Structures are given as C-alpha cells and as structure tokens.
Amino acid sequence: MRTIKLGVKSPEVYYLNELLSKLKYNVLVSDYFGTATDKAVKDFQLKNNLVVDGVVGLKSWSLLLEKSKNGFSVAAKLLSEQDLIDFAKQFNIELAVVKAVNEVESNGKGFLIDGRPKILFEGHIFWKELEKRSINPKTYVNSNTQDILFEKYTKKYYVGGTAEYTRLDKARNLAQDKRFVDAANSSASWGLFQIMGFNAVAIGYKTVEEFVEKMNLNEGEQLKAFGLFLQKNNLIPLLKNKNWASFALKYNGPAYKTNKYDEKLAKAYAKYAKQ
C-alpha cells in the first residue's frame, strides 16, 4: 500500500475507507481522502499510539489491517490475468480496453472486505421497480424510508461499502412480500462491473434471485455477466472502436458527463495500452 493523506483520490483510499468503516468510523466509503477520513485516521492513530499526522503510511496500514482482521480471504474469488485475456479473446476486444473498464467501474474490485459483492443501491430505481410490480411506492414513503425510496435520482444517500447493504436490506424488508425482495435486488448494481439487477432476466438469467446468487460466487461470474450485458446491448463494437463517450452514455447513462466517465476510461486505457 502506498502512503496516502488528505486530498488524495485513489483505489487505496477506497480500501482505507472500507477498513475505517469496518472499525465503526463514520466515513463515506469512496476513493477520496476527505476531511471525515482525515479525522478518522487521526483518531485511529491517537488510540493506537502512532504519530497523529493523518498520513497513512506503513505503520498505519499495518495496524489498520491487523485491527480489522476477520479471517476472510478474498483470493479465491478474484479474477486472474488469464481470465481477462480469455474474455478479451472471446469478444475480440483489446485487453487494455477490458482492463480499463474493470478499473474505472469498481476500482478493480468486485467484493468488499467482508466477502460480499460490491453494490450500490439506487432509491429511484427501487421506486420504479415497485411500480413494475403493481406496488404504489408513495404508500411506503416516510421519514424512515427517505434514504431508500425516492422518485428522482440523487447521490445524496450513497454511503458506499458494507453500509450499502444496510440500505438494501431495509428495502428488502420494507414489507413481507417477495416482490419487495426482488425489487430491491433489481435496484442495486452488482460486482466488478456494477451491472444493475433489473438487467438480470434480459441478459439471460432465469430470475434476479439467480443473478444475485451468481454475483456472490466470484469475479469470474461477474465477468460473465458483463459479457452478457455487452452482447445484449450491442456495446462490443463501441469498445472495439474505443468510442468512450458512446459507451459511457449507454453503460452509465447521461450522468457520465458529470462523472467524466469517458475521460477516466480513456486515461485508464492509455495506461494499460503501454504495458
């Protein structure tokens, strides 16, 4: 792990925030080292007899990893270089392109440190998914559901990391009705390539429940889902031609411009193309 501090944005920061969150610090699990992360790091350093400087170097990393151990090994669930090579050959896509999407979509990680797939729950999608199942979402809107059920898109309620499962479980248990479980699972993006659950049946799974089970197995299954999604939505030609803007629009929607998704893909591709 490289040394990181306030203001840094990188995959290492995402992992740091995961560790801090697991240790019960109130941080947003993201790849940005903001003031909340800085405050948590300094508190951790103080409580563990380290120099309190907010800089996460070798000593801080070592103690963070030691304190957050849970005995889980993610190694068996990870993609190998050969998996990506085989995928690139299967779809006749440049390997650097596959690696670029892999990096940008999920910081190159399909699983959280507790072994569950990385997810992001979307409350506005949950609203639509309930309507698809003939359930009036307005009936369930109250102060306790404001973070999981709303009509228009917002990033306001994103918490990242394992805390996204708190939101997902709240949605699943909103009523004792399997339709709510399916609607909730359909409203989260899953795994390494963040495929939305509502795509499950359209791309070849029997049910959204089967899709979720597969996403829990390993990154290999998550890569298969990515391939199915690319085929179903005719995105392979865009990747072959490295048409980042068109791919970003169809893969992530209009918000890609705000998130500079196409620029991030181009930058990541340039890095891997040199290797």
Question: What single string gives the DSSP state of each residue in 230-266?
Answer: HHHTT-HHHHHTT-HHHHHHHHH-TTHHHHTHHHHHH
What was the pLDDT predicted at 72? Answer: 53
Listing DSSP states for 30-79 in one string gives: SSB--HHHHHHHHHHHHHTT---SS-B-HHHHHHHHHHT--S---GGGS-
**Over the stretch 180-198, which tens digit does the pLDDT of each residue have?**
999 999 999 999 999 999 9
**Over the stretch 116-134, which tens digit does the pLDDT of each residue have?**
899 999 999 999 999 999 9
**Which residues, in sequence order, are CB contacts of 253 under 8 Å at separation 6+?**
none
Residue 46 lies in a domain: yes
What was the pLDDT predicted at 70? Answer: 58
- Is pLDDT above 90 for 87? yes
- Structure confidence at residue 74 as a pLDDT band (50, 70, 90): low
CATH of the domain at 22: 1.10.101.10
Which residues lie across from 111 on neighbouring strands?
117
What was the pLDDT predicted at 236? Answer: 96
Q: How far apart are the first and last CA of the chain?
A: 21
- Structure confidence at residue 165 as a pLDDT band (50, 70, 90): very high
- Structure confidence at residue 225 as a pLDDT band (50, 70, 90): very high
Residue 262 lies in a domain: no
**Which residues, in sequence order, are CB contacts of 188 under 8 Å at separation 6+?**
119, 120, 121, 122, 164, 168, 196, 197
Residue 40 lies in a domain: yes
Residue 137 lies in a domain: no
Residue 51 lies in a domain: yes
What was the pLDDT predicted at 77? Answer: 82
Residue 212 lies in a domain: no
DSSP single-letter state for residue 199: G
What was the pLDDT predicted at 67? Answer: 87
Domain around 45: 11-67
Q: 């240790």: which residue's tokens?
A: 23
What was the pLDDT predicted at 121? Answer: 98
- Closest listed residue to residue 86, CA positions, set 195, 231, 227: 227
Residue 133 lies in a domain: no
Please tell me the distance from the alpha carbon of residue 82 to that of residue 103, in angstroms, as a whole number.
16
What was the pLDDT predicted at 108? Answer: 65
**CB-CB contact of 195 with 225 (8 Å):** yes
What was the pLDDT predicted at 258? Answer: 85
Q: 């892999």: which residue's tokens?
A: 102
Average pLDDT on 130-148 reads 97
pTM exceeds 0.95, yes or no: no
Residue 160 lies in a domain: no
How many domains would you assign to the chain?
1
What was the pLDDT predicted at 106? Answer: 63
Q: Is 74 exposed, middle or buried (0-12, 13-18, 19+ CB in 10 A)?
A: middle
What was the pLDDT predicted at 73? Answer: 57
